[in-house]
């Protein structure tokens, strides 16, 4: 392991805080801080090796790494191996509430979006579980032809995943090589931005935090509940992001909230998108390597990789999330400010630049995978996923998930399939499947204006989405899962097994 940084910030009163904690002054208001950088690790001899611990600090579950309660950013390249020793140092008994009680403080890791094996000791979320005092040893082989992009890791113990991810047990993974598809990125400053939801239900500073991020006093979706979460950015509430006028930066953003949507907007500016959900736009469309938008809806677990340009001198701009109407039965998802854009100060110029030696250029020629999916679009769905819910829980095709259940469906590796995801509920649900990406191309049988290759897609309430799934990579053989990525819903049953066979 090579340690490449530290995520430390100081409050106005000199208190040292690390990771997902929030700087608060003596009056209870949050202090604006520069965008923190997490510690980073990368491969040595094509192996990324680290030890990660699950611990409980001040009543919250968190990752511990290299002496601090912070999740490291993992940097790897196609062909590398992630070797992670994951130690469950959570207490034997939990005082918290889980979707399925009692909380057992079991934990594991999921490598979200990576096209890797679902079998132990790789991305196995079914059989690999550590109880308090136990250790998991992961060895995840990244294929040499793996697309570059932003991925992430988070805990995935069925019944307890929502609580742990809400507490901040997540981190980013960058697979290098994006400049092969967008050469201009090699000369831009890169920022990896992890946006997490932070519960403020029992926070004595809840009102101050809502005020700081400018949560409106009235809801936008007809919901009656009070706002229970605010967003943090790399662990900080409304930090400053330094960017000079007309400067271009490469932002890699992940919505690491377990249950909240981001409708991202950059005041007066646009996002020049080069990748979504860790998939370069050019990978399947070589003639369409980028597209521009003024806002983008990211589901929980969604990722955006885009070029942004610094606003004019003297202007005040912010990156924010707009209000998202999650449906009559959905949770409040109000607009709020995520971070402020500021010009670099003379004494801080370059302070947020990537560590020297980190941004290595991959000069291999790009791989492309253009596909003719039109014939598949014209066929009846090979499989239909139907989301339903009632007062007793959440269901896929009328069934709740059980660890010992048989697979709901199986597919032959080497094929593509047309699936339809139907949401019969009165709230938004994001559909996610492990190990593979898919082309989301139609909503309610109407073609989308911007079809996209994703691993997580929003399914509007009382609506449907059609997708073409890519099951062609032989490394995915084994038992995997698909589920709603509102993790509280997944914990309460909205997940199912899928068997990838030869």
pLDDT of residue 201: 87
pLDDT of residue 432: 98
Question: Quick one: average pLDDT of 439-448?
Answer: 98
**Taking 70 as the threshold, does the pLDDT of residue 319 lie above it?**
yes
pLDDT of residue 226: 76
**Taking 50 as the threshold, does the pLDDT of residue 19 lie above it?**
no
User: What torsion, rounded to 10 degrees, do the Cα atoms 265, 270, 276, 278 define?
Assistant: -100
177-194: pLDDT as tens digits: 999 999 999 999 999 999
pLDDT of residue 99: 83
pLDDT of residue 25: 33
Tell me how far apart the alpha carbons of residues 112 and 268 are, in angstroms, rounded to a whole number.
Answer: 32
Question: Quick one: average pLDDT of 123-134?
Answer: 98
What is the separation of C-alpha 152 from the centre of its chain, rounded to a whole number of angstroms? 6
Token pair for 164: 């742990």
Model confidence band, residue 32 (pLDDT cutoffs 50, 70, 90): confident
Question: Quick one: average pLDDT of 408-436?
Answer: 98
Question: Quick one: average pLDDT of 138-159?
Answer: 97
pLDDT of residue 222: 54
**In the chain, % of residues over pLDDT 70:** 89
Question: Quick one: average pLDDT of 285-306?
Answer: 96
pLDDT of residue 98: 85
> For residues 207 and 8, is the Cβ–Cβ distance under 8 A?
no
pLDDT of residue 8: 36
Write phi, then psi, for 291 (nearest 5 degrees): -150, 155
Of 203 and 318, more confident:
318
Question: Quick one: average pLDDT of 33-40?
Answer: 95
Residue 341: name the closest of 207, 251, 206 by CA: 251
pLDDT of residue 349: 44
pLDDT of residue 1: 43
pLDDT of residue 13: 28
Sheet holding 409-412, edge to edge: 409-412, 495-501, 478-484, 429-433, 456-459
Give the Cβ contact number of residue 125 at 10 Å.
Answer: 22
Model confidence band, residue 18 (pLDDT cutoffs 50, 70, 90): very low
**Taking 60 as the threshold, does the pLDDT of residue 206 lie above it?**
yes
pLDDT of residue 7: 36
- Buried (b) or exposed (e) across 260-270, using 16+ Cβ within 10 A? bbbbbbbeebe
pLDDT of residue 431: 98
**What's the half-sphere exposure (Cβ side, CA atoms, 13 Å) at 147?**
27
């Amino acid at each position: 392991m090579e340690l490449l940084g530290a995520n430390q910030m100081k409050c106005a009163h000199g208190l040292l805080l690390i990771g997902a904690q929030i700087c608060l002054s003596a009056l209870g208001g949050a202090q604006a801080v520069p965008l923190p950088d997490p510690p980073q690790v990368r491969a040595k001899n094509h192996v990324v090796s680290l030890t990660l611990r699950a611990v409980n600090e001040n009543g919250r579950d968190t990752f511990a790494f290299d002496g601090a309660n912070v999740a490291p950013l993992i940097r790897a390249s196609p062909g590398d191996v992630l070797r992670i020793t994951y130690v469950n140092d959570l207490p034997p008994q939990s005082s918290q509430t889980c979707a399925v009680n009692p909380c057992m403080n079991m934990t594991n890791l999921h490598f979200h979006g990576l096209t890797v094996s679902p079998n132990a000791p790789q991305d196995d979320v079914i059989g690999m579980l550590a109880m308090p005092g136990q250790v998991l040893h992961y060895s995840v082989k990244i294929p040499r032809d793996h697309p570059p992009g932003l991925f992430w890791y988070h805990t995935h113990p069925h019944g307890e995943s929502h609580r742990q991810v809400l507490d901040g047990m997540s981190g980013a993974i960058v697979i290098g090589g994006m400049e092969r598809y967008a050469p201009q990125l090699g000369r831009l400053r890169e920022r990896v931005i992890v946006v997490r939801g932070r519960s403020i239900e029992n926070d004595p500073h809840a009102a101050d935090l809502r005020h700081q991020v400018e949560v409106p006093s009235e809801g936008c979706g007809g919901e009656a509940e009070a706002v229970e979460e605010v967003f943090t950015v790399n662990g900080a509430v409304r930090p400053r992001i330094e960017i000079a006028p007309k400067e271009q930066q490469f932002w890699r953003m992940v919505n690491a909230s377990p249950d909240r949507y981001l409708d991202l907007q950059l005041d007066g500016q646009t996002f020049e998108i080069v990748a979504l959900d860790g998939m370069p736009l050019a990978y399947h469309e070589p003639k369409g390597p980028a597209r521009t938008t003024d806002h983008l809806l990211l589901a929980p677990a969604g990722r955006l990789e885009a070029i942004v340009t610094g606003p004019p001198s003297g202007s005040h701009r912010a990156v924010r999330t707009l209000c998202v109407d999650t449906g009559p039965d959905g949770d409040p998802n109000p607009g709020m400010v995520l971070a402020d854009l500021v010009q670099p100060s003379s004494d801080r110029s370059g302070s947020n630049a990537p560590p020297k030696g980190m941004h290595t250029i991959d000069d291999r020629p790009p791989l492309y995978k253009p596909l003719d999916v039109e014939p598949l679009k014209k066929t009846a769905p090979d499989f239909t996923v139907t989301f339903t819910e009632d007062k007793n829980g959440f269901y896929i095709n009328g069934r709740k998930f059980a660890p010992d259940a048989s697979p709901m469906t199986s597919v032959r590796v080497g094929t593509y399939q047309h699936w339809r995801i139907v949401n019969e509920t009165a709230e938004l649900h994001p559909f996610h499947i492990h190990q593979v990406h898919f082309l989301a191309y139609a909503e309610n049988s109407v073609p989308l204006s911007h079809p996209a290759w994703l691993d997580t897609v929003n399914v509007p309430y009382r609506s449907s989405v059609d997708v073409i799934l890519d099951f062609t990579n032989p490394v995915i053989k084994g038992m995997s899962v698909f589920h709603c990525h509102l993790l509280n819903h997944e914990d309460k049953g909205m997940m199912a097994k899928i068997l990838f066979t030869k």
